[in-house]
Amino acid sequence: MGRDKPSKPENKAADRPAHQPKSPDVNAPNTEHLALGEWADRRRPVRRTFPGPGMLDVVLRVAMDRSPYAELIAHAKESLDKEICGVLVGDICEDDAGAFVHVKAIIRGDAAQQGSTHVTYTQETWTAIHRTMEERYRKQQIVGWYHSHPGYGVQFSEMDRFIQKNFFSGSTQLGLVIDPLGGDVSICVNTDAGLANIGQFWVDGREQRCYLPGAASPAGAGSPSGSTSPELQQRLESVENRLNQAIRALEETRNYIYRVVLSMGLLIGVGVIVVVGYSVYSAYFRPMNPPEIRSYAPVPVKIGDKVVILGVGIVSWEVPPELVPTPKTPEEKSDKNGSASDGRPATPGKPEQPAGGQGNSNAENPAAPQQGPK
């Protein structure tokens, strides 16, 4: 936006867009006709795993989905003689390593005023952007902006840096410049010490290199073996990408195992709580009530030469399950009946005393009512 080409002398007045009036101070960027949207960190960070390797020593981690990155490149290549612009849409995320930006879509600035060395976000541009945000990306937010430098590098101009610092000043907001002819990309972010360029970002977990101002040229550029350095550099980048993918896979496996163990621990804990709670409920809220007499039945019993009345009470009792005896098998019953009731052998020739005799139960008398739980 509003910059000098590297091949031209540094003359801000000559390279200023025609629609911008002359500024009293030629060294200060002219912002009279700038119409930029308001940036605010209104949403809390989304808890999400960064789609790349961990333990990164970067100012701000930036991840992009493949679709918006491909659309951004296509947008830049549509105009090779004029600059294009747009905004980056996505989420501010957070994991154990801190905050990062996840770009999930882009919105083109189709209503911007374009030139060969400048592009201006007009009020119509922002109206269209905010309308698209309301219609398609209500759950996301604007996380940055982008524009192109067709054919003259991706270094941020003074105007670009001014816009980034004053209008896109969020701590997790970025500015991106792309050269559709050279294929380079540059990303600038805000820090406490000022603007800083980052050296890489990730597209679907694959690392992409960024242009860094003042970085050394590729090794061997002027040496006789320089013809093989691009191939070697490509191989090194391929190895690095594979290592990053392996590290990412290990981290995902670790997180999966952690979630499984945590879930199993929670299930076991909930099971223990349920069992203990049921035991407490049974002990304190379901007391064992004594038997309740329902009726009284007189039973005549002959003792010697006299007949006496034996009272039999019929009761109801809700027996707790733990007190219900286990039914005995027929074999156990026969073994018990075959043995002497008092431990002494039966007298030969003496018949057994009937059920209604003294001190014996009347369980074998079919006419007598049974006593017990009903």
CA 262, 267, 270 angle in degrees (round to 5)? 125
Distance of alpha carbon 153 from alpha carbon 7, whole angstroms? 11
Cα dist from 334 to 38, 207, 360, whole Å: 94, 84, 19
Please give the pLDDT value at position 352: 53
How is 331-357 classified by DSSP, letter by letter?
Answer: HHHHHHHHS-SSSSPPPTTPPPPPTTS
Query: CA 209 to CA 238: how far, in whole Å?
Result: 12
Residue 22: per-residue pLDDT: 36
**pLDDT value of residue 227:** 46
Can you say how many angstroms the Cα of residue 185 is from the centroid of all Cα atoms in its chain?
A: 30
Question: What H or E segment, with its residue span, contains residue 130?
Answer: helix 123-136
Confidence (pLDDT) at 344: 56
Output the pLDDT for position 147: 94
Q: Give average pLDDT by consecutive 10-residue segment, the chain, 374 residues.
A: 42 37 43 48 79 79 94 93 93 90 93 80 90 93 94 90 89 93 92 90 88 60 49 75 75 86 94 90 70 82 85 77 72 66 53 48 45 46
pLDDT at 301: 86
Domains in the chain, CATH or no CATH each: 12-214 (3.40.140.10)
Bridge partners (DSSP) listed for residue 313: 296
H helix intervals, 137-190: 158-167
Q: Per the confidence metrics, is the pTM higher than 0.75?
A: no
Q: What is the DSSP letter of 160?
A: H
Q: Is the dihedral of CA 161, 163, 169, 175 positive or negative?
A: negative
